[in-house]
Amino acid sequence: MIDLPQPTGAELWPTDEPGPRARLHKPWRTLVAVVEVVLAVLAGWAAYACWHHAAATVVTRTEDGALLESHRYFGGLLAAAIGIGTVAALLLVDAVRQLLLAVRARAPRAKD
């Protein structure tokens, strides 16, 4: 059995670095949230356009006069629509996070 040195309490966690603490409450996060919502709307529109153009209806008339209707789906456009829709959803989630950090996160108050 190998006897390795065991870490002490001071070695388990790194020490706090000197300097000012990072603030989460930054009003410019509101602007970031607005930009992300605008980008999410544009991405949603692009996803809808890709999805709408991903299917085509093909109508063929046979020699006996019967109409045959089939649908052709383009996988690349469907995949693009799903991917762009996912990006739009992630943008919206991050916009909510940015907005909450801009409004709610405050510096801890010093206790008297």
Q: What is the pLDDT of residues 40-90, one digit of tens each?
A: 999 999 999 999 999 999 999 999 999 999 999 999 999 999 999 999 999
Q: Which DSSP symbol is given to 65?
A: S
Identify the CA nearest to 34 among candidates 102, 108, 99. Answer: 99
Residues 16-33: tens digit of each pLDDT: 666 666 666 677 889 999
Tokens representing 14 are 């790194």
Q: Where are the alpha helices (DSSP H) in 14-74?
A: 28-52
Strand ranges (DSSP E) for 1-112? 55-61, 67-73
Determine the pLDDT at residue 2: 78
